Structure 1
């Protein structure tokens, strides 16, 4: 689905179904150096089970025109503009890593538009080490390799990958490399810098009143569960689910993530 946001082309995958803004809407927001495809299983499932789905490509990522936006606040404004352009009055926002901060900030800026929040692989502050920032700036390929290793719970997933013949780590690495090829203007550094600089998370968390779900990877080295106390403490009514995965939990444990999101969405219908 192509939209025009702030004079530029924006893309949102609708899960293989024509998007209908009259349906309950769930919006999926990817993390740094990724695109909508990281939500492949989850977005398609919801689209085929009664939801309107928008799995976005943030500016400068995937099929959305650049440049990449330099702050979480700018990304949140862009996301809210996309909801308006798509005719969405209210939505569940599901964000991974950097995308979770975008969802959180959007909920602060427009609480009436946010039905619920699902924050995956999240933490606050989302600080990035000086060494990784410098590598992302000076040698993006090396930064991709570093993050790809740290984002997964194992080099060889056992007993096998979720899909036979599919490499979880290989797919993640190739996706990040593709983002570099599509947007060679220091995309990873821009994304990491936005995460590192975001300073509004505590205030945004304190303002959250909508139902909230946290999904953490029990083996996450990028945003370990022990680092999430500012968010889980600020959003005390949030439900916490852990899955046996690293930071790339949607690909390592796609069914477990889907099960948690589905249960959360069903709970909204019951209230």
Structure 2
């Protein structure tokens, strides 16, 4: 689905169903150097079970025109403009990694637009190693390789994919490698520079879920749970034997956790 936002062509997947603004809306926000394909299983289930789905390619990422906003705060202010463009007043937000920071800041800055918030692969601060940033700034493939080495649980490096004949590490490397190097570097800078999460947490009034991988080295589950103490009674879910990329490492369990949270009466009503 193509959407015009501020004069730019933005792409969003709809889970195989036409987008219907009359239905409850759910917006999936990808992480750094990713795109809408991160959410293939989850978007399809929600689209076929009563929700209208948008899995957006953020500006300057995937198939969407740039430029990419240069801060988490700027991206958070862009989200309501996307919702306006499709005629949606309020949506549930599901964000992964950088997308989780965007979702958090959106819910704080624009509470009237967010029905519920699910933070996947989340931690704060989301610091970036200076050497990794330098590699990304130089456009070096090593930045992509190191990112994936840390992102996936060790078991996911050597097999375990539930789809026969596919290689999780290889597909993740390919996705991140095709992302513009400038977007990868900027995404790292945005995550590293974001310092408003604690203030944002105090302003959030919608239901919140934190979904972590027990073996996530990038955004450890313990750090996510510690941050959860700043929120009002968040739902905390931790997936066993799972790293940072839970949508692919544990796709069914990720979907089950999202379903349980978003099916709550206070959210879906």
Normalising to structure 1: TM-score of the pair? 0.95
**Ranges in structure 1 where 5+ consecutive residues have no aligned partner:** none
Deviations 1:67-99 (A, max 9, x none): 222100111111110001111111110000000
Structure 2, unpaired ranges of 5+ = none
> How many residues were matched structurally?
267
Q: Conserved in 1, the CA contact under 8 Å of 2:136 and 2:185? A: yes
**Contact map agreement 2:212 2:224 (CA 8 A) in 1:** no
Residue by residue over 1:182-220, the C-alpha shift from the partner in whole angstroms, topping out at 9 and shown as x without a partner, is: xx5x21110000000111111111111111111000000
The residue correspondences of 1:1-271 to structure 2 (distance < 5 A) are 1-154=1-154, 156=156, 160-180=160-180, 184=181, 186-229=182-225, 231-244=227-240, 245-268=242-265
Cα offset for 1:140?
A: 3.2
Deviations 1:134-160 (A, max 9, x none): 111114311000001110002556773
Per the TM alignment, residue 226 of structure 1 is displaced from its structure 2 partner at its CA by 2.0
Q: Distance in 1 between matches of 2:69 and 2:116?
A: 24
Partners of 1:240 and 1:228 lie apart in 2 by 9
1:93 and 1:53 map into 2 onto residues whose CA distance is 10
Conserved? CA contact 1:155–1:169, under 8 Å: no
Q: In structure 2, do the counterparts of structure 1 residues 99 and 156 end up closer, same or farther at CA, with 3 Å as the change threshold?
A: closer
C-alpha RMSD of the superposition: 1.5
Give deviations 1:32-88, integer Å, cap 9, x for gaps. Answer: 000010001001110011100000000111111012221001111111100011111
